[in-house]
Amino acid sequence: MSAMERADAVVIGGGVMGTSIAFNLARRRFGRLVLLEKGAICSGTSAKSSAIVRTHYTTPPTARMALLARGIFERFGEEVGGEAGFVRTGMLVVCGPAHREAVEETVRMNRQLGIETGFVSAGEACRLHPLLAIPEEAPVVFEPRSGFASPHDVAGSYARAFAGLGGLVRQQTAVSAIRIRAGRVEAVETNAGSIATGHVVIAAGPWAGPVGRLAGLDLPVMASRQSIVTLRPTAEYGSHYPVVIDLASEVYFRPETGGLILLGDTRHGEDRPGDPDRYEDRPAPGYAAELTERLSRRMPAAAEAGIAGGWSGMYEVTPDWNPIMGSSAEVQGLHYCVGFSGHGFKLAPVAGLLMAEQLADGRASTLDITPYRLERFGEGQPLRLGYPQAGVVA
């Protein structure tokens, strides 16, 4: 890298979000573009994602984003090129009596937005997933077009498509400063030199806070360690089983490669901040057993499953468990797309499109992103969640 390289825009972060933004900017012919990643592409929080693709959301703006994003996953080869690894399984949302009113409101809103969703009986849910035990009175939602995909495929495909359009991918390149002059972005300093630029997009996931501070921007994003467990069931468990979100037992689970079950936690409310550069990357002792016990309430066969492994990663959590997207009101050319709170993978395809519109046209037009503006917290206008203590679902 030369002492002072020049770019029309620099994107910071090489996960699914940053690579999607970079690709969409390149598709818009925004100019000379550089994507910076301090490690390797998809080496951070994206790689630890459970990678579920769904549209069941309790906030209308996020549901709209999820619907558009799912369509891109379904047509990924045509839209982007390469593979997304999308597997359509359908998804069940099993609710307890306390969730009935909220889930009915959510399904009604989702259907108004054009999302294919609706209630099924406990018997029908058990036909879709024969291992489940569901009380007759439990509300159950079914989304036939949901599923899961591959973070490495998605981020890698975006990065390759970006490079194919002339974009420059710089791995092992850490940002040390964002220079501002006269209220405008002037340059980005890295361990490999400086890049003069008029636009910077922060898409740094759980590193959003410290990267934002380099530009004097306070992004209220908490890096919080979360764990996933993999189970080896005694019987075949493949993609003929749907993804399941169980609000009553506070777990979610889906088929995983190799006949495994991927199992995660929907229980939140006591999440603690952590350091995304230094954390225990395996579940804590006893956590897998406790999570499996919760799963076995809904799927009794899970009690006989062996614990195959698991991993821990970092959520980037905002105060209302919804993303922060937009442009700085104080610094011209400074943009942010962070704080996806466990929703980032499934929303990345459309978030990249919207941020490209924000930079190229001065505003996102495919969808209105003003509900995600940073200022909403100071204005007392956070987005409302339909399922308290389950922000990763809502």
Average pLDDT along the chain, 394 residues, taken 10 residues at a time: 81 98 98 98 94 96 97 97 97 92 95 98 97 95 98 98 98 98 97 97 97 97 95 94 96 96 88 90 92 96 95 93 96 97 95 98 97 95 78 69
The answer to whether 235 touches 301, Cβ cutoff 8 Å, is yes
DSSP letters of 100-112?
A: HHHHHHHHHHHHH
Residue 311, helix vs strand vs coil:
strand
Residues in the chain, how many?
A: 394
C-alpha 228/C-alpha 370 separation (Å) is 33
For residue 151, the model assigns a pLDDT of 97
Distance CA 203, CA 339 (A): 9
For 368, half-sphere exposure in the C-beta direction (CA atoms, 13 angstrom radius) is: 4
Q: What CATH code would you report for 89-145+222-317?
A: 3.30.9.10
Residues 6+ apart with CB under 8 A from 355: 21, 24, 25, 201, 203, 325, 335, 337, 364
Question: Is there a contact between 303 and 289 (Cβ–Cβ < 8 Å)?
Answer: no
H or E segment and range at residue 151: helix 151-164
Which residues, other chains included, contact 334 with Cβ-Cβ below 8 Å and sequence gap of 6+? Answer: 178, 180, 185, 199, 200, 202, 215, 217, 327, 328
Regarding the domain with residue range 4-48+152-220+320-376, which homologous superfamily does it belong to in the CATH classification? FAD/NAD(P)-binding domain (3.50.50.60)
Q: What is the pLDDT of residue 1?
A: 43
Measured distance CA(24)–CA(16) in Å, rounded: 12
Give φ, ψ of 309 to 5 degrees. 165, -150
User: How do 193-197 and 4-7 pair as beta strands?
Assistant: parallel
Q: Which residue has the tokens 């029309």?
A: 8
Q: Which of 21, 311, 327, 301 is nearest to 161 (CA)?
A: 21
- Domain spans, the chain: 4-48+152-220+320-376, 89-145+222-317
| Selection from 42, 34, 146 nearest residue 88 by Cα | 146
**Residue 187: helix, strand or coil by DSSP?**
strand
Same fold, 4-48+152-220+320-376 and 89-145+222-317: no
Residues 252, 254, 256, 261: what is their CA dihedral angle, to the nearest 10 degrees?
Answer: 70
